[in-house]
Amino acid sequence: MLLNFNALTLNYCFFNSYICALKKNTHNNKFRKKMTKADIVAKISEKLGLEKGDVQATVESFMEEVKTSLETGDNVYLRGFGSFIIKTRAEKTGRNISKNTTIKIPAHNIPAFKPAKIFVDGVKTNTEVKAN
């Protein structure tokens, strides 16, 4: 659990109602920010000067079209950004450890995203490596 007191971030844990290992966290990039759909809508609305409702409808329509295309078996290619593709997982044998039995997991398709080379290169050069 994290506490933040004016740029002093502390890590702590509770174990049998005792507080353990209070220490200063010097790696601020360890905990990356998350961007939500609402954040994307707000940024696009601000950049283009459009109303948030219109932008939200556009973003949701885009996501719905990508989902529909993948569900019908079509891949989606966005030059300079990446590809939404369908990957096929082969049939394999798994284990149910609670019953100690083997089960057969059938072959199935899953959606995947493959970023474009220019996108990957930009992330590599513009972000810091996450420290463990």
Q: What is the pLDDT of residues 82-114, one digit of tens each?
A: 999 999 999 999 999 999 999 999 999 999 999
Q: To the nearest whole number, what is the mean pLDDT of the chain?
A: 83
How far is the C-alpha of 71 from the C-alpha of 109, rounded, in Å?
10
Query: Same domain, yes or no, for 87 and 119?
Result: yes
Instruction: Return the pLDDT at 44.
Output: 96
42 & 26 share domain:
no
Q: What is the pTM of this model?
A: 0.66
**Domain range holding 116?**
75-132
| Side chain identity at residue 29, one-letter code | N
Q: Looking at the structure, do residues 81 and 127 belong to the same domain, yes or no? A: yes
Are 125 and 103 found together in one domain? yes
130 in the same domain as 81: yes
User: Are 63 and 36 contacting, i.e. CB atoms less than 8 angstroms apart?
Assistant: no
